[in-house]
Amino acid sequence: MAYRPDPVRVYGHWLLAAAGLSLAAAAIGYGIPKVLPTFHLDPLALGLIYAVIALGLNIVNGQAGQFSIGHAAFAGIGAYTAGGLSTMVGPRLFGWGPGMPAQLDSPAAAVFFMASLLAGGLVAALFGYLVGIPTLRLRGDYLAIATLGFGEIMRVVLDNTASLGGPLGMHGIPRFTTYPVIGVALVLTLIVCRNIATSVPGRCFVALREDEIAAESLGIATTRVKVNAMALSAGVAGIGGGLLAHRLGSYMPVDLSWVRSVEFVLMVVLGGSGSITGTVIAAITLGMLPGEMLQLTKWPWLQKLIGNKMVVYSVLLIVMMLVRSLWFKGGWELSFQWMRDSAARLRRRLSRREGPANG
Amino acid sequence: MIFWLQQLTNGLSLGAIIALIALGYTMVYGVLKLINFAHGDILMVGAFVAIYAAMRAAHYGIPVWFPLIMPVSMAFCAALGVVIEFVAYRPLRSAPRLASLITAIGVSLFLESVGQWKLGAGRHAFPALLSDHRIEALAERYGFYVYVSDLVIFASTLLLLVALQAIVKFTRFGKAMRAVSQDPEAARLMGVDVNRVITGTFALGSALAGAGGVMWGMKFGAADPLMGMDPGLKAFVAAVVGGIGNVPGAMVGGFIMGVAETLVAACSIPIGRMWGSDLVIVGSNYRQALGFLILILVLLLRPSGLFGRHEPEKV
Amino acid sequence: MASDPGHLVAPVPDAMLELQSVSRFFGGLAAVRNLDMAIGRGSIHGLIGPNGAGKTTVFNLITGATPLSSGSIRMEGREIGHLAPHAINRLGVARTFQNIRLFKGISVFENVRTAGSWRSGYGWIHGLVQGYTFHLREAELHQRTSELLDEFGLAHRAKEPAGALPYGEQRRLEILRALATRPKLLLLDEPAAGLNASETDALMQLVERILEQYELTILVIEHDMRMVMELCDTITVLDLGEKICEGDPAAVRNDPLVIQAYLGRGDTVDASDQ
């Protein structure tokens, strides 16, 4: 009774998917800069990098339902690690300096950049592990406070570490994060998130979120799953942080504060906790908003509002939670299944209208 | 010897204020099972209301008196607390607890960001509501500096604490509050108007936060839009240490936190002198991180605090 | 043939599960005290008693949801008293809950598929890459899940959220979900609670069919005496945390201690009372 899927079909689809995704990465990386007017490029780049970080948060908050308000700290850890490698190790390896500015010109430099991003992700994931193991035993609201505390502790530690720049942070980070890099990173992150969600680990997250005790009784090692979710989440955020550092050229301890973490939480919540598509859209929107708004010099009150964007964000957060019944948890996804279902629904509705006439 | 006595009195007066704020946290948690993240920011509002009231009073020639200004702050904060509960927390009563926590964070951020927007991030001078006098007799004979303002703060805080205990223990409202914190459904079935109890609890807790804000401003002479974080965090730790939801526990926790902080700061001076004075400066920088560290440790090691009850989930 | 409280009627030769001197204290309160129980392989064993007798606590002890205060629990000879619930499930113990703990937000199919997931035997890497092994295992899982739902009559509900099901079907779904983990020992906690007479009949048929299809041992907590008397081979009676009687249905029905325990709370054990 063994049902064996046809290897040719499976591998064929896999290759097709790989080709399509590479195309998407190329489209983002090379298409967007060609098509979009220049003054949109910077805000959009920021939005896309935020999408990477927010997708990381979505894994632990949205999918696994473990509420963490410390993600800006994980991103920051990744940023400082990758940035540190670029500013301290890079110059020695490649001779970067005032005479020869840092460029992503050679394959070696590209590999170095990738390696430093990965290192950032790994260090962040390690912290995710270390933080997760004790705190994931705590109940929901206490877990949130504990992760917030961790974020603040990291911020204060970095604030007081002179060798990493102290309160002024790290500067002079080479701007390696160009659109092609963003394209690849975003597509890879989306693959990771989607594949996790549609396989056994993803199902364990959902079970964990729905009813932890029942999940445990069905063979799911809930604590291990939670910690893994936290570690993966932190790792993705760390890579995003590294990307951010190499886009802005600097990173400061204040970027690890809980207020920044709440921004990411807002992105996940706005997108409908658990939805990958929603998170990306929300992240891009929120990430682009300040930059875009600054272009509109027409209304000074709007400018002032953007300068105090947290006023708007906080109201948005409250309003979102109040209308949250409209967004169901982990619900809507842009997927082929949804498209097929919608087409079927549409067909049914059309045929029903003709039905009574045919009797 | 006098030195330690001095630190003890300083610690007790600080602890009294923290206890006051911790009570607000613990009462709201007891009744709603919600950590009111915005509590520290209500404190900030209370401080600024006091500044504003003092300005207006001086403008109209009314004496700027502590017993006059403080009730104004308390009343305003009570009203603010009621409004916040009605707008942001009540609609989410039946939602998972996390939703209310997110909203509470939203409210907190809102208050802080509006404060920064309208008042600027800098510090504002807090008016002197009490004289600067100290008890000269003790100062001259023993070098023991006890300020009148500290005494007044301590006394009024104690008064408020006692009043609150009286309300909780001896009035019908207090009984209703206790009933709702144990079992809201059963309380409703017994004829308790749960909504009014919750509103009243919020009003009380926020009034205490307002009072705490005024006293904090008096003690440290300044107020700024982000001032709520520090006392808020300390008071929250105090409430958790005492057992969150437990009223006497919050008071005890507050005093413990106040005395501990003062003693640690005091100890770092001689230590700093031994290792070089940098440590004292570093100490104050790390203080907020230390507060969080203590909180995390308490949550991990003894989440039910000193007096709280551990409630395991029924399978 | 009344039995000696606290001792087994006869030594059970091929015990699937053995409890020895098991106790569970909550502070000063003994939820379960000095319980000895053995469940024979392939049998249906009933666990009854008035409310508060400690029956669900026994389930929690067996599945590791609550730690043992003292005593030992052995499954097929192997000590499991100290293991975590997920480890115990992986050894072959599955349960349903008194207050139905379904994953209400996701579909019926997903509920069962999630339960069967760990048996798929692929880890993170395959999940990430999603190559041939992934698709193969997923297809097998899909097949197993469909078959389970088809076999026991919930296929027509497959896409609906579990929370939307009528009560009786929710109970059935919970049993199927437990079955998806391919247990050797199935613990049912008041599966007939809230069901009317015909629904209870359907449930009994379901249990019998499960026994036909799979090699299982079943331990069931129930208050519905008709079901207990008809289904079970052996019944253990608890009262206030202690075993007061054990034996086959006939013996238990007529045991004076049992009748007293129930009558004292206004229930009767008479099976004709339906």
CATH number at residue C239: 3.40.50.300
B105 at A interface, C-beta within 8 A: yes
B237 min Cα distance to partner chain A (Å): 11
Q: Is residue B36 part of a domain?
A: yes
| Rounded Cα distance, B156 and B208, in Å | 11
The boundaries of the domain holding residue C46 are 1-92+183-274
B284 at A interface, C-beta within 8 A: no
Please tell me whether residues C266 and C188 are part of one structural domain. yes
Chain B residues with CB under 8 Å of C60 CB are 315
Q: Are A213 and C65 in contact (CB under 8 A)?
A: yes
For residue A63, the cross-strand partners are none
pLDDT at A117 over 50: yes
Please tell me whether residues C174 and C198 are part of one structural domain. no
Other Cβ atoms less than 10 A from the Cβ of A345: the count is: 10
Inter-chain touch A141–B97, beta carbons under 8 Å: yes
| C30 three-class SS | strand
Residue type at position C92: G
Please tell me whether residues C146 and C213 are part of one structural domain. no
Q: pLDDT per position in chain B (315 positions), as tens? A: 777 787 888 888 889 999 999 998 999 988 888 889 899 999 999 999 998 888 888 888 877 777 888 899 999 999 999 999 998 888 888 777 778 888 899 999 999 988 888 887 778 888 777 766 666 666 666 667 777 777 888 888 888 888 888 888 899 888 888 888 888 888 888 888 888 999 999 999 999 999 999 988 888 888 888 888 889 988 999 998 888 888 888 888 999 888 888 877 777 666 555 554 444 444 556 777 778 888 888 888 887 777 776 555 566
List Cβ neighbours of B187 (8 Å cut-off, separation of 6 or more).
B176, B179, B180, B194, B197
| C111 three-class SS | helix
Q: Are A251 and A153 in contact (CB under 8 A)?
A: no
Nearest C-alpha in B relative to A148: B292
For residue C18, the cross-strand partners are C38, C74
**pLDDT, tens digit (0-9, with 9 covering 90-100), for C204-252:** 999 999 988 898 999 999 988 889 999 999 999 999 889 999 998 988 8
| Rounded Cα distance, B123 and B18, in Å | 21
Q: Name the domain count of chain B.
A: 1
Chain B (276-315) residues lying within 8 Å, Cβ to Cβ, of chain C: 315
* Residue appearing with tokens 């590209």: A110
Burial class (CB in 10 A: 0-12, 13-18, 19+), C198: exposed
Q: Are C72 and C81 in contact (CB under 8 A)?
A: yes
Q: Taking the CA of residue A220 as centre, how many other CA atoms within 13 Å lie in the half-sphere pointing to its CB? A: 30
Q: Name the domain count of chain C.
A: 2
User: Mean pLDDT, chain C, as a whole number?
Assistant: 87
The boundaries of the domain holding residue B29 are 15-225
Please tell me whether residues C16 and C88 are part of one structural domain. yes
Please tell me whether residues C13 and C147 are part of one structural domain. no
Tell me which residue of C210, C216, C192, C207 sits closest to C48, measured CA to CA.
C192
The kind and range of the H/E element at B162 are helix B148-170
Chain B residues with CB under 8 Å of A153 CB are 289, 292-293
| Rounded Cα distance, A139 and A162, in Å | 36
Query: What is the signed CA dihedral for A330, C180, A221, A154, rounded to 10 degrees?
Result: -10
Tell me chain C's radius of gyration from C-alpha atoms.
19
Please tell me whether residues C50 and C120 are part of one structural domain. no
Q: Is residue C255 part of a domain?
A: yes
Q: Which pair of tokens denotes residue A294? A: 């600054």
A215 min Cα distance to partner chain C (Å): 8
Please tell me whether residues C107 and C177 are part of one structural domain. yes
Tell me which residue of B21, B33, B52 sits closest to B207, measured CA to CA.
B21
Q: Is residue B300 part of a domain?
A: no
How many contacts, defined by CB atoms under 8 Å, are there between B and C? Answer: 5
**pLDDT, tens digit (0-9, with 9 covering 90-100), for A206-253:** 999 889 999 999 999 999 999 999 999 999 999 999 999 999 999 999
- pLDDT at C220 (0 to 100): 94
For residue C38, the cross-strand partners are C18
Please tell me whether residues C227 and C268 are part of one structural domain. yes
Q: Is residue B308 part of a domain?
A: no
pLDDT band at A334 (very low <50, low <70, confident <90, very high): low
Q: How large a percentage of chain C has pLDDT more than 70?
A: 91
Q: Are B23 and B257 in contact (CB under 8 A)?
A: no
Phi, psi at C107, each rounded to 5°: -75, 165
**What percentage of chain C's residues is helix, strand, coil (to nearest 5)?**
40, 25, 35
- pLDDT at B110 (0 to 100): 93
Domain end among C152, C182, C212: C182
For residue C143, the cross-strand partners are none
Chain A residues with CB under 8 Å of B236 CB are 145
Q: Is residue C97 part of a domain?
A: no
Q: Are A185 and A267 in contact (CB under 8 A)?
A: no
B1 at C interface, C-beta within 8 A: no
Phi, psi at A79, each rounded to 5°: -65, -45
Q: Are A210 and C105 in contact (CB under 8 A)?
A: yes
Phi, psi at C209, each rounded to 5°: -65, -35
Phi, psi at C196, each rounded to 5°: -85, 180
A311 min Cα distance to partner chain B (Å): 5
Query: What is the signed CA dihedral for B51, B52, B58, B64, rounded to 10 degrees?
Result: -40
| Rounded Cα distance, A114 and C164, in Å | 48
Phi, psi at C222, each rounded to 5°: -150, 155
The CA distances from residue B192 to A6, B172, B173, B180, in Å, are: 66, 10, 9, 8
Please tell me whether residues C79 and C213 are part of one structural domain. yes
Inter-chain touch C115–A218, beta carbons under 8 Å: yes
Please tell me whether residues C193 and C271 are part of one structural domain. yes
- pLDDT at B149 (0 to 100): 77
Tell me which residue of C30, C41, C58, C77 sits closest to C236, measured CA to CA.
C58
B152 vs A354: which has the higher pLDDT:
B152
A171 at B interface, C-beta within 8 A: no
pTM: 0.85
A3 vs B299: which has the higher pLDDT:
B299
Q: Is residue B314 part of a domain?
A: no
The CA distances from residue C36 to A306, C3, C53, C237, in Å, are: 70, 13, 15, 12
B41 at A interface, C-beta within 8 A: no
List Cβ neighbours of A235 (8 Å cut-off, separation of 6 or more).
A56, A121, A122, A124, A125, A128
Helices B229-242 and B39-59, interaxial angle, to 10°?
A: 130
DSSP secondary structure letters along B198-224? HHHHHHHHHHHHHHHHHHHHHHHSEE-
DSSP secondary structure letters along C82-94? TS-HHHHHHTTEE
How many contacts, defined by CB atoms under 8 Å, are there between A and B? Answer: 110
Q: Are B66 and B152 in contact (CB under 8 A)?
A: yes
Residue type at position C11: P
